[in-house]
């Protein structure tokens, strides 16, 4: 038997890139797949089209799998419920939710507009909540289910010009942990993947200087399908004891991320004043300050 035989998976943003590869891999692993994609541009602006999702569905069916398409937006509660309903109507159940849909509205912080902020939060963070929440009642009733959420090192570590995206992606990590805690009693698991891949979501990275061009060439080696095996595993019963974790897939490397915990403390029995904090606490804590780094600083070696 394949790892996902008998299971039904919803993959949002499955019309291309990482989402498409995850949908294809889950179908090959035996799952019936709801291919959700609104068919919009990378920014979420412009005419929508069913074509990307239909293309993914066609590939799945050519390979002997089963799939249906859905073009509802994740960024609205009512339409998110329709995404989940499409799985129930087509296949009678839902076992897996992959929250992959996303858009970009990159902008340096002091120029970012409220609309650019809200658009990204709505799709990434609110969308992950809406689809997860819509599936939660089914997961609870059947005492099983698996969530796989896409986070990003832009949020886990940091990046320039992505306050909206970074905040949403770090929020998704906290959402996943909360789901894992609240739904563990029902046999439901929730984990995150920080994917590395060259796709529409990374194609806007500047490539003007020799250093930037070199970085882009390295990124191009990390094709979207490299993230799919981890997603299939996390969705399968083989991962029944894996929940509340944050992983990353980078070409042929897999990483487990730490999560924020206290790293150092300072104490005064008589309490603190602002002056004492400046004189005592900060010098004591400073050695453990986190650097103001970005994802390329942390992942400074070439993809393996």
Q: Are 103 and 42 in contact (CB under 8 A)?
A: yes
The third-level CATH classification (topology) of the domain covering 8-259 is Rossmann fold (3.40.50)
Whether 165 is a known active-site residue: answer yes
Note every long-range contact of 156-161, with CB atoms under 8 Å and residues 24 or more positions apart, other chains counting: 156/194, 156/246, 156/257, 157/293, 157/294, 157/295, 157/297, 157/298, 158/292, 158/293, 158/294, 158/295, 159/294, 159/295, 160/108, 160/294, 161/106, 161/107, 161/108, 161/109
The pLDDT of residue 206? 62
The pLDDT of residue 129? 98
In the DSSP assignment, the letter for residue 107 is B
The position carrying tokens 């959420």 is 149
What residues have CB less than 8 Å from 215, skipping those under 6 apart? 205, 207, 296
Identify the bridge partners of residue 147 per DSSP, sorted by sequence position.
97, 190
- Work out the angle at residue 157's Cα, subtended by the Cα atoms of residues 166 and 235, and round it to the nearest 5 degrees: 75
The pLDDT of residue 48? 66
Identify the bridge partners of residue 13 per DSSP, sorted by sequence position.
none
Digit-by-digit pLDDT tens for the chain (304 residues) are 799 999 999 999 999 999 999 999 999 999 999 999 998 766 666 656 679 999 999 999 999 999 999 999 999 999 999 999 999 999 999 999 999 999 999 999 999 999 999 999 999 999 999 999 999 999 999 999 999 999 999 999 999 999 999 999 999 999 999 999 999 999 999 999 999 987 555 555 666 788 767 766 777 778 999 999 999 999 999 999 999 999 999 999 999 999 999 999 999 999 999 999 999 999 999 999 999 999 989 998 888 8
The pLDDT of residue 208? 79
The pLDDT of residue 133? 98
Tokens of 208: 């003007």
Q: What is the pTM of this model?
A: 0.92
Catalytic-role residue among 139, 165, 233, 247: 165
Q: Are 148 and 191 in contact (CB under 8 A)?
A: yes
Cα–Cα distance between 176 and 81 in angstroms, integer?
A: 19
Which one, of 142, 132, 250, lies nearest residue 191 by Cα? 132
User: What are the residue ranges spanned by the domains of the chain?
Assistant: 8-259
The pLDDT of residue 11? 98
């Amino acid at each position: 038997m394949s790892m996902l035989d008998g299971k039904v998976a919803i993959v949002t943003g499955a019309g291309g890139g990482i989402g498409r590869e995850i949908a294809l891999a889950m179908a090959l692993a035996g799952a019936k797949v709801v291919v959700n994609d609104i068919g919009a541009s990378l920014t979420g602006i412009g005419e929508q089209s069913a074509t990307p999702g239909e293309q993914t569905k066609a590939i799945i069916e050519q390979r002997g799998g089963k799939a249906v398409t859905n073009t509802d937006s994740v960024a609205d509660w009512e339409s998110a419920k329709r995404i989940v309903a499409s799985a129930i109507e087509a296949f009678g159940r839902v076992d897996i939710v992959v929250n992959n849909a996303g858009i970009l509205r990159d902008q340096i912080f002091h120029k970012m507009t409220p609309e650019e902020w809200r658009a990204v939060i709505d799709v990434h963070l609110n969308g992950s909540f809406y689809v997860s929440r819509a599936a939660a009642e089914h997961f609870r009733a059947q005492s099983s289910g698996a969530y796989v959420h896409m986070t990003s090192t832009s949020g886990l570590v940091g990046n320039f010009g992505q306050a909206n995206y970074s905040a949403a992606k770090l929020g998704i990590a906290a959402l996943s942990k909360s789901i894992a805690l609240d739904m563990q009693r029902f046999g439901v698991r929730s984990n995150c993947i920080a994917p590395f891949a060259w796709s529409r979501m990374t194609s806007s990275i500047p490539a003007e200087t020799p250093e930037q061009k070199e970085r882009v060439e390295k990124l191009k080696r990390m094709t979207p399908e490299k993230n799919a095996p981890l997603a299939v595993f996390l969705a399968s019963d083989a991962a029944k004891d894996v929940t509340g974790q944050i992983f990353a897939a980078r070409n042929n490397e897999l990483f487990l991320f730490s999560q924020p915990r206290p790293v150092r403390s300072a104490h005064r029995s008589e309490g603190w004043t602002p002056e004492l904090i400046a004189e005592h606490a900060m010098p004591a804590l400073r050695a453990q300050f986190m650097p103001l780094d970005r994802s390329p600083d942390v992942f400074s070696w070439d993809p393996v």
